[in-house]
Structure 1
Amino acid sequence: MESKFKIWNEPLIHFLLIGGLIFGADRLLIPEQKELIIVDKNNIDFLVKKREDMTLSTLSDQEVDALVTAYVDDEILYREAYRRGLNVGDTRMRHNMILKMRGLLVSEISVPTDEDLKTYYEQNRKKYSTPELVELQHLFFSESSRVPEGLLESLHNNPEKPTKGDLHRPTLGQTTLQRAKSELTDLFGIDAAKALAEADSNQWMGPFTSNQGIHFVRRERIIPPTAASYEDIEDYLIMDWEITEARKLIQIELANVRENYKIVVER
């Protein structure tokens, strides 16, 4: 009988018991630590500026929130991909890691019915429309010294027959163009693009300077979008519908794992 209880007098047994109690108390008393994701003001400013330069419009608070949410979603997917070992033996960039994680989360998508596709088309008609176009006239000079004196006043007096510019090409020189707003910055620079997008008259404006030279521009009219018919794009709708369904599945998984992260957004 004495030998049966002798083991409880061993110091090692006492040490293991005390250690186990401390570990258990630590798990109970200290809350689980969440992985930290910080979206600071510099991140948000960069995302907002990039989008505003592309759209030539000021983002609303809701649009900024959507940008931040998309950024956080991608960060979670990246970290989940890394946690699940998808980076092992793979030296490709972060974007590819996120794509692999998205692919892992998407299960087999069912074949859409005709009703599914027609509903999707009606809900996304804007996606299958031509972009809103700006019709404009443009006068280009390779350098400021080549701009005739008093040109802008002359253009205001004779808007339909302006002085010829340096070059005569579809994008550089006097011509009439039809371009989407998203193309204007690359063609004429950010200042001219904003002026064309926001103009409420058809007066000549300028000079605007880009990395190509000097621009004078005149907005003729805005051409509204035109939606493609369901019959013309029916073959493309299946692929787009499947992509949308896959995104829904990814959002469900993101909602499930988001609780594992502590997210801090610094405005």
Structure 2
Amino acid sequence: MTLKTLVREPLVHFLIAGAALFAFFAWKGEPADPASRTITISQEDRARLALQWQQTMQRPPTDAELDSLTETWLREEILYREALRLGLDQGDAVVRKRLANKMDYLSASAAETEEPSDRTLRQWLADRPQRFANDTAYTFDQLYFSERTRAEAALASLNSGAGWQALGQTISLPPTAEQQTADAVEGRFGIVFREQLDNIAPLGRWTGPHVSGFGWHLIRLRQRDTGKVPPFAQIREQVENDWRAQTLEDRKAKAYQLLRDAYDVTVEK
């Protein structure tokens, strides 16, 4: 990857932004006391509020509307500081989840506004025709497990030559499906399960664990018959939505892995 290509990579922008924030706070010193009774609303703050309004309403705010936006922001800031002062952020699963979600959003937000070229989307379609075909059919075997660790142990047994019929936990799902359409698979196993059938390669091997709304599965996809794919012009929006959703997930995963690699984690048992 060349330097010119590297600097255009959104993940690099995310890491640079994180480093810049780290350097800023290191230079600034200790953050302001959340319980401080002094709040300064700068011109930059009001400009940011006005820009957010304009992006939503497609027009600049009036002076009265900007004053109202400022007062709303001030109310949130005061309540936020008081909540921090009382320690309401400590041990709160909701706050923890929201902050984690914001980090995920930061790592992938560039993909939300990025406009892929037709060439990119055509290649995306060519590489994944089964996602857009009208009547793709699947033939597969599957084993269900309530826990990922059980599925991993079973996969190791299968790789050692164990018979698959003796493995897996009981559930009201068929162990074998023959020439089932995408709609039929989604109706029985769920959309997450069906989407993973589109990504399994090569055929004929046990793979997993794969997650679904039921739990964990090992899947041996024996056949995938791709039906007729509509012309690109008819499904361009669908292809772009698929590209964007997958790109978001890929970038979040890459950003998290980079952060995860910086931690030394010990799980006590």
Normalised to the residue count of structure 2, the TM-score between the two structures is: 0.30
Normalised to the residue count of structure 1, the TM-score between the two structures is: 0.31
Larger radius of gyration: 1
Q: Which has the higher contact order (CA 8 A, sep 6+)?
A: 1
